[in-house]
Chain A
Amino acid sequence: GAVVSQHPSRVICKSGTSVKIECRSLDFQATTMFWYRQFPKQSLMLMATSNEGSKATYEQGVEKDKFLINHASLTLSTLTVTSAHPEDSSFYICSARVVWGITNEKLFFGSGTQLSVL
């Protein structure tokens, strides 16, 4: 099946630094990828929709200048948490959308990145 690779799996950084998370579709092309945030024992909250070659679409309440998304190729989307603060500590997950035919589609998820900001 389709594989989505997300790196790093865990990152610890100092407050004020920026962190980049990569999401790659390994054996398929994904024109659309999604970025989610998940706090402990809670569900996934969609942060933004990443479209290859165009600007990302952010959900209400998500700061686009803080969470920079780049989808420069059909197999790679990156999320950069700029000037990270302890409240940004969370589990970040990406997913890639696969479409075949007219109505068939699936989402494949990365393994997530646990970000801890000290």
Chain B
Amino acid sequence: TQLLEQSPQFLSIQEGENLTVYCNSSSVFSSLQWYRQEPGEGPVLLVTVVTGGEVKKLKRLTFQFGDARKDSSLHITAAQPGDTGLYLCAGAAGAQKLVFGQGTRLTINP
């Protein structure tokens, strides 16, 4: 069974600080996705990384896929209250399935 360990599970920081969320596995994934979910809603895709070592930027968010395609990170620069939410990483596990990490509940305090 392919598992994704996401850390930290909870993070509360002040506006303007930087943060990094990690997603680790002992398995190789063909691709990895990051989602953000608001309470009472479905996840919304932020980015998909496919190539080992790939780095993608989305405004203040930087996503990196590990060289071995077993891990990924999400870095947020100068966090804002609007960044508050549940961040989920998900790995493509073959057979059309996505395996989700436990999620990181991020709170940005004004």
Contact = CB atoms under 8 A, between A and B. Distances in A.
Interface of A: 4, 6, 9, 32, 34, 41-46, 49, 91, 93, 95, 97, 106-112, 114
B14 to A, nearest CB: 22
B91 interface: no
Interface string B86-100: 001000000011111
A49 B97 contact: yes
B100 A44 contact: yes
B40 interface: yes
B103 A46 contact: no
Contacts of A97: 96
Contacts of B35: 109
Contacts of B103: 42-43
Contacts of A106: 45, 48
B102 to A, nearest CB: 5
Interface residues of B, number: 20
Nearest to A41: B105
A55 B100 CA distance: 24
Contact of B40 (A34, A41, A112): A112
A111 B41 CA distance: 4
A35 to B, nearest CB: 12
A9 B105 CA distance: 22
Interface in B22-48: 33, 35, 40-45, 48
B105 A109 contact: no
B102 A43 contact: yes
13 contacts: A42-B102, A43-B6, A43-B102, A44-B88, A46-B100, A49-B97, A91-B40, A106-B45, A106-B48, A108-B45, A111-B41, A111-B42, A112-B41
Given A109-B42, A109-B44, A114-B40, A46 B97 contact: yes
